[in-house]
Amino acid sequence: MKSAIEQLANYKSVHLNSTNLKTHFVGIPLIIWSIFLLLSLLRIDVVGIEIGGSVLLLVPVMLYYLLLHWRLAIGMAVFMVPVVASTEWLSQMGAASVWLALLVFIVGWIFQFIGHHYEQAKPAFLDDINQLFIGPFFLMAEIYFMLGWASSLERCITPLARDKRLLLEQIKTRRVID
């Protein structure tokens, strides 16, 4: 398993543009919320208690975040509690929940692709599907950095991200020249 530094630097390497970052602060939460709403519609009986599929996804994802960086995982848990609570509640709307989730999902991806237009870089998950799980984790890291928390983590991630981006741009330029 790659470290939090490696994962976050890789993600940040295609998220250095401030406009792209802003669109991700809208798009990623919308996408997460919509996925959790869809998953909450899948009801599963666990030892006599009916729970939504969103709860079953939440457990391994939060364990993964804990393994990566426990402090960021705490922030993720604070974010995820209202996501799960609201989607579990809204899942009671039945078919309307599906349409709502699909609409929110599409709007979220529109924000993502607008951001990457400004970034002039493809989304990180196109090279590594695991980056879909790192996106929310990355945003939490960025919030921590804005608050002045985890500054040593930021000092590790940002130079690595810039170096990786420079390397990617050099490779892209060579392909065009060749």
Domain borders along the chain are: 4-177
> DSSP assignment of 55-115, as one string?
HHHHHHHHHHHHHH-HHHHHHHHHHHHHHHHHHHHHGGGTHHHHHHHHHHHHHHHHHHHHH
> DSSP assignment of 132-147, as one string?
HHHHHHHHHHHHHHHT
pLDDT of residue 122: 79
Torsion of CA 56, 60, 63, 65, to 10 degrees: -110
- Please, what is the average pLDDT of the chain? 92
pLDDT of residue 128: 74
Q: Could you tell me the pLDDT band of residue 172, with boundaries at 50, 70 and 90? A: confident
Q: Could you tell me the pLDDT band of residue 15, with boundaries at 50, 70 and 90? A: very high
pLDDT tens-digit map of 45-64: 888 888 889 998 999 999 99
Assign residue 127 a region: left if phi > 0, alpha if psi is -120 to 50, beta otherwise? alpha
pLDDT of residue 178: 55
Q: DSSP character for 45?
A: E
pLDDT of residue 49: 86
What one-letter code names the amino acid at 57? L
Instruction: Tell me the mean pLDDT in the region 104-130.
Output: 88
